[in-house]
């Protein structure tokens, strides 16, 4: 049995593996704050393209199906591109844990998008889960002396809304191989970021090249696992399982970046997690 088939038997596993690799990717992106955002985004996407492309070329059977879903792949790629950009903006302007918990409100948006695009039922508790989570975001943003500008938190919410829409579209294209969906997204994001990177290109140091390579590799693996997770779970369920990334990223931020969490931040994060989880029950 291939890896995709094995993960289909344990659908909860792929989102958890994705959050582990995405947490490592977030640390790498944060360590590259000295480079322009467009440059970090380009390498974040270009390296996975190099990894996914041979996989897609080797198995050409899915290319015809991919062409028939070209409009959906383009919309998913556009939502993902904008989501990734806003996520990187949040990562570079506010504490790592804040950026992660804010952008991980995506299950709320995924539930709405899945209702609109797929006809999946919206949990009744969503009516109070949204306000609860937004109040939590306000606490996280406004009660820490180390918190960044308000625009960073708005960028995190924008990333969550766009990624929630993208995740719902993945469910609609579940018959496509995960590497095809990921390649279409990463390829479009790399192309969109390239014109913005070239005028501001800053040659990385040797250490930065190593971090860039680690960021691209962990991002590619995390993207693949995330795509598999959304094939074998409902949009809201897969996103809620991925909330483990909040705890993992916060722990790594504390251990590697020495970022502290205040008591009201912890309360706000708890409210966000409760709101997001109850919305997907």
Residue 149: left (phi > 0), alpha (psi -120 to 50), or beta? beta
- DSSP secondary structure string, 71-117? HHHHHHHHHHHHHHHHHHHHHHHS-HHHHHHHHTTHHHHHHHHHHHH
pLDDT, residue 233, reads 66
pTM: 0.77
Q: What residue segments make up the domains of the chain, in order of their start?
A: 30-279
Mean pLDDT of 101-129: 69
Higher pLDDT, 234 or 18: 18
Contact between 271 and 129 (Cβ < 8 Å): no
Is the model's pLDDT at 279 over the cut of 60? no
How many angstroms separate the first and last alpha carbons of the chain?
31
What's the rounded Cα separation, in Å, for the pair 210 and 222? 18
Mean pLDDT of 58-67: 77
Residue closest to 88 by CA, chosen among 48, 47, 41: 41
pLDDT in tens, 174-190: 778 888 888 999 999 99
What's the rounded Cα separation, in Å, for the pair 48 and 104? 22
């Amino acid at each position: 049995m291939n890896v995709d088939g094995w993960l289909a038997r344990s659908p909860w596993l792929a989102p958890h593996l994705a959050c582990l690799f995405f947490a490592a990717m977030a640390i790498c992106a944060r360590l590259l704050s000295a480079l322009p955002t467009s440059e970090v985004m380009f390498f974040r996407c270009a390296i996975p393209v190099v990894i996914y492309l041979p996989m897609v070329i080797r198995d050409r059977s899915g290319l015809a199906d991919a062409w028939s879903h070209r409009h959906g792949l383009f919309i998913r790629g556009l939502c993902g591109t904008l989501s990734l950009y806003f996520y990187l903006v949040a990562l570079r302007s506010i504490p790592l844990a804040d950026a992660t918990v804010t952008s991980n409100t995506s299950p709320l948006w995924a539930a709405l998008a899945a209702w609109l695009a797929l006809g999946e039922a919206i949990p009744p508790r969503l009516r109070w889960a949204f306000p609860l989570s937004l109040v939590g975001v306000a606490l996280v943003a406004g009660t820490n002396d180390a918190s960044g500008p308000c625009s960073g938190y708005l960028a995190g919410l924008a990333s969550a809304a766009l990624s929630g829409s993208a995740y719902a579209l993945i469910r609609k294209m579940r018959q496509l191989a995960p590497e095809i969906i990921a390649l279409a997204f990463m390829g479009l994001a790399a192309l969109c970021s390239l014109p913005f990177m070239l005028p501001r290109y800053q040659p990385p140091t040797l250490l930065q090249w190593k971090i860039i390579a680690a960021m691209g590799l962990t991002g590619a693996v995390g993207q693949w696992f995330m795509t598999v997770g959304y094939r074998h779970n409902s949009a809201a369920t897969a996103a809620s399982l991925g909330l483990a990334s909040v705890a993992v990223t916060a722990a790594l931020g504390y251990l590697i970046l020495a970022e502290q969490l205040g008591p009201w931040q912890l309360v706000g994060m708890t409210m966000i997690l409760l709101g997001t989880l109850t919305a997907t029950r």
